[in-house]
Amino acid sequence: MNTAGTWKLLRMALRRDRILLPAWVLVFVAVAASSAAAVEGLYPSVQDRVSAAEAVNSTPALVAIYGPVYDVRSLGALAFFKLIVFGAALVGLLCALLVIRHSRADEELGRTELVASGAVGRHAPLMSAVLVGVIGALAIGVFTAATCAAAGLEASGCIAVGVVWAGGGLAFTGVGAVAAQLTAGARAARGIAVTVLVVAYVLRAVADVSDAGWMAWVSPLGWAQQVRPFAGDRFVLLVPLVVFAVVAVGAAMALQARRDLGSGLVAARPGPAEGRVGSAIGLAVRLHRATLAGWTVGVFLLGLLVGSLVTHLGGFFDSPRVREFIESMGGKGEVADAFVSTELGFAALAIGGYALSALSRMRAEESSGRIENVLTTGTGRVAWMAGHVVLTLVAAAWLTLVTGVGIGMAHAAQTGHGPDLGSDITAALVRVPAIWVVAGVGALLFGLGGRLTAYSWAVLVACVVVGEFGKVMNLPSWTADVSPYSHVPALPAVGFQPAPLVWLVVVAAALTAGGLFAFRRRDMAAG
């Protein structure tokens, strides 16, 4: 294995990420520390903790999303029940994307070929990318553990939280390394990594809410969760996560040795000899259709799963204390309606992520220089960008509709009540304007400068933080208004209010128009 020059490439990669990586570490540490500091005021007595933890454990939907509370009397276990496996998944996603950014993305843009012309070993670029992921995972784990211990929680449990998050990051560092070898494009590699992450999360969720507990042991996230911070602190389970990461990185190195520079193991199919695309929107459709098809299947299956759970929740909420706890987490109205509303909120966040990912394709087209070939045909800048933006907005609405249809079909099939289908579809579609605002931010940043596109993800992260963890972190109430999702009426749990949706559409239109105007006037930037 020739890794000469790895340390020099690592220093260069860390310099490129000197703002991005510390910012992400700070976000994870801040969320964990705020949760640790706020939970004691929320549940001051042991009985309060037991009641809240039992409420969580008796709700399959919450257990599927976050995992169970293993020690119902532990303050730390309750403080981190929403953060254990969910945080491990997010750290894993970050590390996988970092590896792909510094390996496959650089190779796609020609940077690796330039570096390889010097005294650099064949495996050095990939090894340096893997080390960036490892450094990110370890930094998040170490600083999170130290900060939570400083907040007053049990030191052993805090270290276990750090182990869980770092372990998830290490495992998916390996996944990202393998994904980078399979395709010739960074976007496809990211799609593979995200798919593996989703499958791992679903396997863990199914194991937690069914009799198939063994499924947790075929998922890296299941191994991470079984460390059980504040409820046993089984540090030995870090071993399989590290072994998984080492094996995956070794496999990635072996795969890299079997392919040519710039290519993937899965060969790209050549297009037709004569193209049939005659417009900017047609080109956008062709570029995005495969990804959109995969997302369509995914959100429909998610909708069917959510809809099938709706009718099984009622018996779990007979206790007034349980209902009080669920309402404190944002669930209002009938239990089934509150559950549907909550799950649609998660789906809307995910579809917002799809919208930003789709818009990032414009940055890839600009960086590679392919946009110049399109513009020489007489297609204007605004028309080209509008094709991608319009397709993204329509696709986001389509995915939201499909999610609602999936929920409604499964819900109506179990209740035998046809109107449930229409109600669930409406509840889904009211989320579309909020998703469009997120996409509008992405369009505006791309219009201002291609390199700014990556910062649009900060908006989505902010929405997740203030929406999911705002109350736990004891953030001021006004911070919720930062998220466009907070202005959406939480149908079907509450009544329909058109005014916020109109304003969201206006904001989204203004952001998009600003992006188109800015793109028309700025210089192109390659690389």
Tens-digit pLDDT profile for residues 385-436: 999 999 999 999 999 999 999 888 887 776 666 667 788 888 889 999 999 9
Same domain membership, residue 233 and residue 292: no
| Chain centroid offset of residue 21 CA | 16
* Ordered DSSP codes for 9-45: HHHHHHHHTTTHHHHHHHHHHHHHHHHHHHHHHH--S
Q: What is the dihedral of CA 241, 243, 245, 251, to 10 degrees?
A: -150
d(CA 145, CA 234): 15
Q: What is the pTM of this model?
A: 0.75
Question: Is position 38 within any domain?
Answer: yes
Highest mean pLDDT, choosing among 49-53, 86-90, 109-113 = 86-90
Last residue of a domain, one of 209, 236, 264: 264
Residue 16: other Cβ atoms inside 10 A: 14
Highest mean pLDDT, choosing among 83-97, 279-293, 463-477 = 83-97
**Is residue 198 over pLDDT 60?**
yes
**Is residue 316 over pLDDT 60?**
no
Same domain membership, residue 254 and residue 304: no
* Location of structure tokens 């799609």: 191
Same domain membership, residue 317 and residue 250: no
Segment 165-177 shows an average pLDDT of 95
Segment 511-525 shows an average pLDDT of 88
d(CA 366, CA 70): 49
Question: Is position 382 within any domain?
Answer: yes
Give residue 320's pLDDT: 53
Give residue 88's pLDDT: 93
Q: Torsion-angle region of residue 277: left (phi > 0), alpha (psi -120 to 50) or beta? A: beta
**Is residue 475 over pLDDT 90?**
no
Same domain membership, residue 347 and residue 222: no
**How many domains in the chain?**
2
**Is residue 324 over pLDDT 70?**
no
Last residue of a domain, one of 215, 230, 264: 264
d(CA 46, CA 72): 9
Same domain membership, residue 323 and residue 187: no
d(CA 81, CA 330): 16
Question: Is position 351 within any domain?
Answer: yes
Question: Is position 273 within any domain?
Answer: no
Segment 429-451 shows an average pLDDT of 91
Angle between helices 20-42 and 456-468 (to 10 degrees): 10
Question: Is position 116 within any domain?
Answer: yes
Same domain membership, residue 415 and residue 527: yes
Same domain membership, residue 289 and residue 208: no
Same domain membership, residue 349 and residue 209: no
If one compares 14 and 494, the residue with the highest pLDDT of the two is 14
Same domain membership, residue 231 and residue 315: no
Same domain membership, residue 159 and residue 114: yes
Segment 218-236 shows an average pLDDT of 92
> What is the average pLDDT value for the chain, to the nearest integer?
83
Q: What is the pLDDT of residues 251-301, one digit of tens each?
A: 999 999 888 887 888 766 666 666 677 778 888 888 888 788 888 888 888
**Is residue 353 over pLDDT 70?**
yes
Give residue 170's pLDDT: 96
If one compares 207 and 342, the residue with the highest pLDDT of the two is 207
If one compares 163 and 496, the residue with the highest pLDDT of the two is 163
| Chain centroid offset of residue 312 CA | 28
Of 435, 363, 295, 293, give the one whose Cα is nearest residue 101.
363
Task: Read off the DSSP letter of residue 477.
Answer: G
Question: Is position 367 within any domain?
Answer: yes
Print the domain residue range for 413.
Answer: 278-527
**CA distance readout (Å), 401 to 311, 395, 396, 456:** 21, 10, 9, 24
Q: Collect all residues with Cβ–Cβ distance below 8 Å to 498 and sequence separation of at least 6.
A: none
Q: Is the dihedral of CA 293, 294, 299, 301 positive or negative?
A: positive
Last residue of a domain, one of 203, 233, 264: 264
Question: Is position 369 within any domain?
Answer: yes
Q: Collect all residues with Cβ–Cβ distance below 8 Å to 281 and sequence separation of at least 6.
A: 386, 387, 390, 391
Same domain membership, residue 67 and residue 89: yes
Give residue 319's pLDDT: 47
Q: What is the pLDDT of residues 117-167, one digit of tens each?
A: 777 888 899 999 999 999 999 999 999 999 888 888 889 999 999 999 999
Same domain membership, residue 162 and residue 118: yes
d(CA 7, CA 462): 34
Question: Is position 36 within any domain?
Answer: yes
